[in-house]
Structure 1
Amino acid sequence: MPKHPPKILMIDDDIELCQLVAEYLALDGFEFAAVHDGQTGLASVSTANADLILLDVMLPKLDGLSVLKALRAGPYCPVLMLTARGDDIDRILGLELGADDYLAKPFNPRELVARIKAILRRIELTQQDHAPAISVFQLNEVELNIQNRQVSCCGQLVVLTATEFQLLELLMRKAGEIVSKEELSKTVLGRRLQMYDRSLDMHISNVRKKLAQFSQVEKIQTIRGSGYLFLTESKT
Structure 2
Amino acid sequence: MGKQRILIVDDEEDIRDLLEIYLKNEGFDALKAVDGLEALEMLEREDIDLIILDIMMPKMDGIQACMRIRKERNLPIIMLSAKSEDIDKILGLNTGADDYVTKPFNPLEVVARVKSQLRRCNMLRSTAPKSDEEIEIGGLIINTATHQVKVDEREIKLTPTEFSILEFLARNRGRVLSTETIYERVWNEPAYESENTVAVHIRNIREKVEINPKEPRYIKVVWGVGYKVE
- TM-score, normalization by structure 2: 0.94
Aligned to 1:234: none
- 1:173 aligns to 2:171 (yes or no): yes
For each residue in 1:60-104, what CA deviation from the matched residue of structure 2 results, as whole angstroms up to 9, or x when unmatched?
A: 111110111111111222111111242332321111111111111
Q: How does 1:176-191 map to 2 (within 5 A)?
A: 176-191=174-189
Aligned to 2:61: 63
How many angstroms apart in 2 are the aligned matches of 1:180 and 1:88? 20
Q: 1:132 to 1:104 in 2, by over 3 A?
A: farther
* Greater displacement, 125-134 / 157-166: 125-134
- 1:104 aligns to 2:102 (yes or no): yes
SS of the residue corresponding to residue 163 of structure 1 reads helix
For each residue in 1:209-231, what CA deviation from the matched residue of structure 2 results, as whole angstroms up to 9, or x when unmatched?
A: 10125886431111222211111
How many angstroms apart in 2 are the aligned matches of 1:143 and 1:92? 28
Aligned to 2:22: 24
Unaligned ranges ≥5, structure 1: 232-236
Q: Which runs of 4+ in 1 moved over 3 A?
A: 213-217
SS of the residue corresponding to residue 13 of structure 1 reads coil
Paired-residue identity, %: 34
Q: How does 1:122-201 map to 2 (within 5 A)?
A: 122-131=120-129, 133-195=131-193, 198-201=196-199
SS of the residue corresponding to residue 132 of structure 2 reads coil
Aligned length: 229
* Greater displacement, 89-98 / 142-151: 89-98
8 Å CA contact 2:75–2:160 kept in 1: the answer is: no
> Shift of residue 130 of structure 1?
4.5
- TM-score, normalization by structure 1: 0.91
The CA RMSD over aligned residues, in Å, is 1.7
